[in-house]
Structure 1
Amino acid sequence: MLAYLLCIAVLSGKYVEGSFGPFNQTYDYVTVREGAHMFYWMFYTTADVATYTDRPLIVWLQGGPGGSSTGIGNFEILGPLDLRLQERNHTWVKNFNVMFLDNPVGTGFSYVDDLRYLTTTNDQIALDFVEVMKGFYRNNPEFEGVPLYIYGQSYGGKMAVDMAIRMREAEEAGTIRSNLKGIAMGNAWISPVDSTLTWGPLLLAAGLVDQQGYENIQRAARAAERLFNEGRYVESTAQWAATQREVFGATTNVDFYDILTKMPVPSLPDTRSDYEISRDMMIRDRPYRSPVRQDEVNLNTLMNTEVKQALGIPEHVVWSSLSNDVFDYQRGDFMKPVTDGIEKLLNETDIILQKYNGNLDLICSTPGQILWVDRLKWSGAEAYQRAPRNPIWEDNRLEGYYKAHGNFRFFWINVAGHSVPRDNPAGTNAFLRDMTSFG
Structure 2
Amino acid sequence: MKLRALCGPPLCLFLCLLFQSGLSQTVVKSLPGLPGDLPFHLETGYIGAGELDDVQLFYYFVESGRSPRDDPLVLWLTGGPGCSALSGLIYEIGPFTFNYEKSSRFRPALKLNDYSWTKVANIIFLDQPVGTGFSYANNWESYNIDDNISVAESYEFLRKWLKLHPQFLSNPLYIAGDSYSGVIVPRVALEVDKGNEVGLEPKMNLEGYVLGNPLTSYDSDLNSRVPFAHLKGLISNELYESAKTDCNSEYINVNESNADCVDDLKVVNLCVENIRTANILEPNCVPQSPKSTVSDRWDPTLINRDPSPLLLPTERASRVWCREYNYLYSYIWASDRAVQDALHIREGTVEKWVRCNETLSYTSNVLVVIDIHKELIKRGFRALIYSGDHDMVFPYVGTLAWIDTLNLTISEDWHAWFVDGQVAGYATLYSSFPSLFTFVTVKGAGHTAPEYKPKECFALISRWFDYLYI
Question: TM-score, normalised to structure 2's length?
Answer: 0.75
Q: Distance in 2 between matches of 1:153 and 1:185?
A: 5
The equivalent position to 1:330 in structure 2, one of 352, 363, 366, is 363
Q: Distance in 2 between matches of 1:127 and 1:87?
A: 34
Residue pair 2:306, 2:355 contacting (<8 A) in 1 also: no
Q: Paired residue for 1:81?
A: 96
The equivalent position to 2:458 in structure 1, one of 410, 414, 429, is 429
Alignment CA distance shift 1:181-1:60 (3 Å):
same
The equivalent position to 2:63 in structure 1, one of 24, 28, 44, is 44
Alignment CA distance shift 1:200-1:272 (3 Å):
closer
Q: Paired residue for 1:412?
A: 441
- Work out whether 1:107 is the aligned partner of 2:132: yes
Alignment CA distance shift 1:308-1:212 (3 Å):
same
Residue pair 2:62, 2:122 contacting (<8 A) in 1 also: yes
Q: Paired residue for 2:333?
A: 302
The equivalent position to 2:186 in structure 1, one of 158, 161, 164, is 161
Deviation of the 1:25 alpha carbon: 1.6
Residue pair 1:20, 1:311 contacting (<8 A) in 2 also: no
Q: Paired residue for 1:63?
A: 79
- SS of 2:446's partner is coil
Residue pair 2:44, 2:60 contacting (<8 A) in 1 also: yes
Q: Paired residue for 2:26?
A: 16
Q: Paired residue for 1:317?
A: 349
Q: Distance in 1 between matches of 2:112 and 2:332?
A: 19
Q: Distance in 2 between matches of 1:97 and 1:111?
A: 25
Q: Distance in 2 between matches of 1:339 and 1:277?
A: 17
- SS of 1:391's partner is strand
Q: Distance in 2 between matches of 1:148 and 1:301?
A: 34
More helix by share: 1
- Work out whether 1:367 is the aligned partner of 2:386: no
Residue pair 1:120, 1:332 contacting (<8 A) in 2 also: no
Alignment CA distance shift 1:29-1:201 (3 Å):
same
Residue pair 2:147, 2:365 contacting (<8 A) in 1 also: no
1:73 partner amino acid: G
Deviation of the 1:322 alpha carbon: 2.7
Residue pair 2:147, 2:364 contacting (<8 A) in 1 also: no
2:401 partner amino acid: L
- SS of 1:53's partner is coil
Q: Distance in 2 between matches of 1:148 and 1:244?
A: 44
- Work out whether 1:205 is the aligned partner of 2:221: no
Aligned runs of 1:187-202 on 2, under 5 Å? 187-202=213-228
Alignment CA distance shift 1:248-1:278 (3 Å):
farther
Deviation of the 1:278 alpha carbon: 3.0
- SS of 1:255's partner is coil
Q: Paired residue for 1:139?
A: 164
The equivalent position to 1:279 in structure 2, one of 292, 297, 300, is 300
- Work out whether 1:292 is the aligned partner of 2:325: yes
Kindly tell me the number of residue pairs found equivalent between the two proteins: 393
Q: Paired residue for 1:3?
A: none
Q: Percent identity?
A: 24
Structure 2 residue runs of 5 or longer lacking an equivalent are 1-23, 32-37, 100-109, 256-263, 308-320
Bigger Cα Rg? 2
Residue pair 2:425, 2:442 contacting (<8 A) in 1 also: yes
Aligned runs of 1:376-387 on 2, under 5 Å? 376-377=406-407, 381=408, 383-384=409-410, 387=412
- SS of 1:98's partner is strand
Q: Paired residue for 1:235?
A: none
Deviation of the 1:224 alpha carbon: 3.4
1:423 partner amino acid: Y
Residue pair 1:165, 1:345 contacting (<8 A) in 2 also: yes
Residue pair 1:256, 1:363 contacting (<8 A) in 2 also: yes
Deviation of the 1:291 alpha carbon: 6.3
Question: TM-score, normalised to structure 1's length?
Answer: 0.80
Aligned Cα RMSD in Å? 3.3
- SS of 2:413's partner is coil
Residue pair 1:253, 1:265 contacting (<8 A) in 2 also: no
Deviation of the 1:169 alpha carbon: 1.0
